[in-house]
A and B are shown apart, each in its own frame.
Chain A
Amino acid sequence: MSDHATALAPRAEKLPPPTAHQFDDAIQQHDASGLGMWVFLVTEILFFGGLFTIYTVYRSLYPHAFGHASSTLDLTLGTTNTAVLIGSSLTMALAVHTAQVSRNGRLIALFLCATMLLGGVFLGIKAVEYAQKFHEHHVPGPYFHWEGGDPQHVELYFSLYFVMTGLHALHMVIGEGVLTVLAIMALRGRFGPSYFTPVELTGLYWHFVDIIWIFLFPLLYLVERHS
């Protein structure tokens, strides 16, 4: 096994990568990378924030239409998906942790693959939910159909539902692609305690996507369950 692991880690001897000349040391370089990722996440927070603002405005104007539309969502699937995504955040955190304390590329890759798997489960469940909505004709557009009252504003809710969850799902798909590259890099022995920046920054991204879902879940699924 150790022979095989060595074969998978031909670049280990080249570590650590040199500190770029504009930085005093590796620690400053590491902190600067983290700050740069956060600048990107700040733009992402405000990007999703626009949608959350629209949601707040229309929910305040049409609370009952939003409540009735929200109650048609499958709460079991939604809650399961929340748990699955939290689980993927844990495995992502464990991948970062492993890279921080060891040079065990296989274990890092294992945690990254677990994260991808859980992310895939989330997207699969989301696809099932979307299919249900298509069958029920709850997708906004010419085939939208609503038996209850105020169909116009119910359709508005579903527009926000598909845009917000769709944009969230797009972020997850991008995350899956980045994780694939990371897993390959990990197997090649690229990461260890002195250099794990790509794993850490992807972790920040993945956890951010998790946080978006933490707010989407109550706002979309739990509007008016008590009535």
Chain B
Amino acid sequence: MTTHPGTAAHDMPHGDEAVGHVVPLPIYFAVFVTLLVFTGVTATVAFADLGRFNIFVALTIAVIKASLVLLYFMHLRYSSRLTLLFVGIAFFWLGTMIALTMSDVVSRGWFGAAGLG
């Protein structure tokens, strides 16, 4: 297997030019093993009483796992800036939706307004 798509296509019919970035196989296997390890870690560490930090540890591991899938399995590391912009926009609006919603939920009752607990 090769990282150069052009050389991989040498035995193809004439005009059959390769497109896209070929990720080396060892990277796929390394990502796979890392994802499995993190799955084991998150399931194990959940039994440790870390108080409020349990959720932060669980979500941090989930974000690391998702990032590995995005960067390598989904080739974002090798994608165009335009694609990265689109993906970034998705997470920006997702964060906006959750942050603004929670800012409402959490702040209710702060000022003792009538009808709110």
- A residues touching B (Cβ–Cβ < 8 Å)? 13, 15-16, 26-27, 29-31, 34-35, 38-39, 41-42, 45-46, 49-50, 52-53, 56-57, 60-61, 75, 79, 82-83, 86-87, 89-90, 92-94, 97, 100-103, 192-194, 196, 200, 203-204, 207-208, 210-211, 214-215, 217-219, 221-222, 224-227
Contact = CB atoms under 8 A, between A and B. Distances in A.
A200 B20 contact: yes
Contact of B16 (A94, A193, A200, A211): A193
15 contacts: A35-B82, A41-B90, A49-B94, A49-B97, A56-B98, A57-B101, A93-B73, A97-B1, A97-B25, A193-B12, A194-B12, A194-B17, A200-B20, A218-B61, A222-B54
- Name B's interface SS: helix
B12 A192 contact: yes
Contacts of A30: 19-20
Given A211-B69, A222-B42, A222-B58, 14 more contacts: A26-B19, A42-B87, A45-B91, A46-B93, A60-B105, A87-B32, A97-B25, A192-B12, A194-B19, A207-B69, A207-B74, A210-B73, A222-B43, A226-B48
B9 A194 contact: yes
A101 B90 contact: no
